[in-house]
Amino acid sequence: LYDITPAAQDLFPANYDGLATGLLAAVRTMGGEQLIDDLFAARRRQLGERMQQRLADRLGPDASLGDAVRELAVFQDEQGYLCRAVDDGDGVAWLQQFNCAIHHVARQTPAACAAELELFREVLGASVVRESHIASGDRCCSYRIEGHRPD
């Protein structure tokens, strides 16, 4: 009597988190932690290319670090991280993520968060230090960012 159209699929329960953690477990049994690290490194490179292109398109080559962090926050927010950027006015910017869109993956696979941290460093070309971490029990992931973007 009833059918769910493709447009309505996102309105119903899904198990993407279970799928992701299950796939990572299968990858781990096939190639161990090195293959997991390689997998997240490849994902980091893909996301990095997308972010770099987005920064170039939206901000141009002369964007300030603060502008780049704000754009990164918008990108992360679109990915489900409930993200915001804060500039303390003293040359330090903060990126705060109030949701972990990959929480179960992050808790079981530290390589996910390590790749994210390295991604932020690469994309921003700045010093990025994680000050708090949801997967470690904190209320948000908070990143202290300072330095300058490369010319």
Cβ count near 50 (within 10 Å):
12
Residue-by-residue pLDDT tens, the chain, 151 positions: 777 778 888 787 788 888 999 999 999 999 999 999 999 999 999 999 999 999 999 999 889 999 999 999 999 999 999 999 999 888 899 999 999 999 999 999 999 999 999 999 999 999 999 999 999 999 999 999 998 765 5
The pLDDT value recorded for residue 150 is 53
Contact by Cβ (8 Å): 111, 36: yes
As a whole number of angstroms, the distance between CA 17 and CA 102 comes to: 7
Predicted TM-score (pTM) of this structure: 0.88
Cβ count near 1 (within 10 Å):
2
